[in-house]
Amino acid sequence: MVKNIQLISGCLVVMICVVFLARATAWSALRVSPTQQNLNIPPGGTETIQLLLSNSSRTDSMQVKLYVTDYNIRQDGSPVFPNANTTRDSLSSWIKIEDTDIVLMPGERRSVACKYTVPSRAEGERFGAIMVEKVPDNDKTPYQELPADRLGGVIKLTYRIACTVMLLVDGTKVDGTNFLKNGVIKNVAVNIPESDSWMEKQEIEVSAVFGNEGNIHITPRGGEALIVHKKLRKVVARIPLTTPRNPTIFPGGMRDFKGYIKEPLRPGEYTVQAKFNMDSEGGPISPANTEFVITPELARMMNQVFYGEGEYSGPPIIGAEPQLVEVEVPGGGYRSSVITINNQHDEPVQVAGYIKGLQYQPDGEMRIVEPGTVERSCADWITVQPAKFKLSPGESKKIMLKLRIPDGADGGHYGKLVFETSPLSANASQLEPEKSLGSTLMVIVPGTSRIKGSITDFGTAPVEDGKPTEFTIGFNNTGNMHVRPTGTIKVKDYMGDIVHEQSLGKNVPFVLPGNTRRLKEVYGGEKLPAGKYTATVVVNYGGEADARADYEFTIPDKPPTDEPAQVATKQKKTNNS
């Protein structure tokens, strides 16, 4: 047994295969197109698809081999390619490749015919992949004999590109029924960090698992978690539920979706309701719920993170609903709004309400400022009635905000309802009043808005492990109305082909006029081969034209040290409006 182990260790050959799954992507000089096929073929039918291979090297030839595997997607969204004909819905035996061993000369482009033949009694949907694998160059270095007690061997790296295939057997039924899209939401959970790690994580994770119980692949859309305050029976937040990888789910499969609560919540009991949408062919999806509790200590820490250190970072004593008041009032006009407030303290309190100015820092931190100290404040336009009152523990009360808009006002103006509370005790006069933040106020003068914005900068954090870790975008609101930027980031290789795409701005708060917001988006794609890339961000904020910016970066071949590789970059901005 020992001799056999020594023999194996002395002749060890390890092959590491790296699969790149993207649209028209490449490793080194090898390129394949298309890298995804969606086919509809009737029973007994055939179809031939041309697979285009190219060698972009100007000097070196390349040997490649083509073969078929099965194709599936894990719960985390990553692809997996089992051996051919080993999975339930495999189409591997239906594919015949015209030429499986090819030598590409420098600069050569060649089409390879891939013929699909569907059996006459076939039904349902099938999945597979055509692999294009670069054959490594022969190692001309002679093997050296090693002592029997030493482990030696040769490591060969092999790279392959997958062309994934989803084939629908057209005009058939499964088990006597039509194709059925049936999704189910399960395992909804809320992960609240421990108190000692909250200041590091600064967010509450909401997760849900979406399962496919139908007989055809599905792609759930519009996932969100509704955060409902149980006592008030009101939705206080809507959290997008997303997956950083491929959202497509095969029959019998599942996918993880996550979202994050970053804005502060008041103490109390909450229900999370996870919801998803499907296309018109899918049946209704029943939401799934779970519950969680925000303690006074956690509420204090959430306020401290969101509002910063200062007079407003303590636990909220007075709650206000609605949390956002957005009204349209013409110049010279009047309007009133009713706010419901409640005492969340366990003692009776004296309450004073007033309006202050509102700003946001580039990192999203809210700043409460004195009236008249910032432009586009509505603090001087609003009075609170009654301005002072008493509340028993748990008591609720309606107050009125009266607005008078001056002539000549335009665009949007903003403020924050603030409460000062003092206990109704004998020594209350000796105590400093505690402050709580109420509703955010947005006053819009209709017909006067100017929606403009620009990207001030765009880049990535240092490259680590073959990919950028994070994109950063600076967006400046140069108009007179608040905006909520959304958009996309696309990464292209040196040939101009898209190798990654992701959305941005799903959790971005409003950007007020004159404010700049620093947006951060974690890169959600696969590792990239060494080479030059261009990232393009398109920001949609409601203006006449989207704001765009490009950023060039390089994935190094071999980082010289263990430190994250710094990349050469160049930025240019276009189409800001």
| Residue-wise pLDDT tens digits, 385-432 | 999 999 988 888 999 999 999 999 999 999 999 998 888 765 655 567
Helix (H, G, I), strand (E, B) or coil at 243: coil
Q: Is the link from the previous residue into 462 a cis peptide, with omega within 30 of 0?
A: no
**First-to-last CA distance in the chain?**
74
Instruction: Please return the burial class of 279, using the count of CB atoms within 10 Å of its CB with bins 0-12, 13-18 and 19+.
Output: exposed
Tell whether 18 and 130 lie within a shared domain. Answer: yes
Same domain, 477 and 360: no
Last residue of one domain, picked from the residues 139, 169, 199 = 169
Say if residue 253 is in the same domain as residue 344: no
Residues 156 and 194 grouped into a single domain: no
Do 136 and 8 lie in one domain? The reply is yes
Predicted pLDDT at 277: 83
Report residue 123 as tokens.
């039904």
349 and 406 belong to one structural domain: yes
How much is the pLDDT for 198? 65
User: Considering the chain, what percentage of its residues have pLDDT values greater than 70?
Assistant: 80
Asked if residue 176 is part of any domain, the answer here is: no
* Closest by Cα among 341, 198, 323 to 261: 198
pLDDT digits (tens, 9 = 90+) for 168-177: 988 766 545 6
Instruction: Provide the pairing of β-strand 153-169 with 12-20.
Output: parallel
Which pLDDT band, with edges at 50, 70 and 90, does 314 fall under?
Answer: low
Q: Give the β-pairing of 324-328 and 434-445.
A: parallel
pLDDT digits (tens, 9 = 90+) for 447-458: 999 999 999 999
- What confidence score (pLDDT) does residue 26 get? 39
Maximum mean pLDDT: which of 127-141, 146-160, 358-372: 358-372
Q: CA 545, CA 455: separation in Å to the nearest integer? A: 12
> Each residue of 429-445: pLDDT tens digit?
556 778 888 889 999 99
Rounded Cα distance between 126 and 168, Å, is 6
The reply to whether 341 and 476 lie within a common domain is no
Confidence label for 278 from pLDDT (cuts 50, 70 and 90): confident
Q: Which of 255, 71, 83 is nearest to 163 (CA)?
A: 71
Asked if residue 165 is part of any domain, the answer here is yes
Question: Are residues 332 and 429 located together in one domain of the fold?
Answer: yes
Which of 243, 262, 241 lies closest to 524, judged by CA?
243
What is the distance between the alpha carbons of residues 341 and 319, in angstroms, rounded to a whole number? 5
Band of the pLDDT at 311, cuts 50, 70, 90?
low
Same domain for 248 and 323, yes or no, is: no
Structural domain boundaries enclosing 48: 2-169
* CATH code of the domain in which 32 resides: 2.60.40.10
- Label the pairing between strands 366-369 and 349-360: antiparallel
**423 upstream amide cis, omega within 30 of 0:** no
CATH number at residue 209: 2.60.40.2360
pTM of the model: 0.59
The answer to the question of residue 309 being in a domain is no
* Least reliable range by pLDDT among 82-86, 210-214, 426-430: 426-430
CA 200 to chain centre: 20
| Burial track 16-40 (b if 16+ CB lie within 10 A, e otherwise) | eeebbbbebbbbbbbbbbebebebe
Say whether pLDDT at 5 is over 50. no
Rounded to the nearest integer, the mean pLDDT of the chain is 81
Question: Can you count the helices (H) and strands (E) in the chain?
Answer: 3, 40
141 and 255 together in one domain: no
In terms of pLDDT, which residue wins out, 482 or 179?
Answer: 482
Structure tokens at 575: 């189409």
Is residue 308, in this structure, part of any structural domain at all?
Answer: no
Q: Is residue 374 domain-shared with residue 506, that is, in the same domain?
A: no
Give the burial class of 15: count Cβ atoms within 10 A of its Cβ; 0-12 exposed, 13-18 middle, 19 or more buried: exposed
Q: How would you write 311-349 as a 3-class SS string?
A: CCCCCCCEEEECCEEEEECCCCCEEEEEEEEEECCCCCE
Q: Give the highest mean pLDDT range of 60-74, 173-187, 350-364.
A: 60-74
Residue where a domain terminates, one of 391, 411, 445: 445
Q: Of 169, 194, 221, at which residue does a domain stop? A: 169
Domain count, the chain: 4
Look at residue 331 and tell me if it is in a domain: yes
Residue type for 148, please? A
Are 486 and 565 members of one domain?
A: yes
In a domain, 231, yes or no: yes
Is residue 178 situated within a structural domain? no
pLDDT of residue 322: 85
> Does residue 260 surpass a pLDDT of 70?
yes
Structure confidence by residue, pLDDT tens digits, 469-518: 788 999 999 999 999 888 899 998 877 888 888 887 655 678 999 999 98
Residue 305 lies in a domain: no
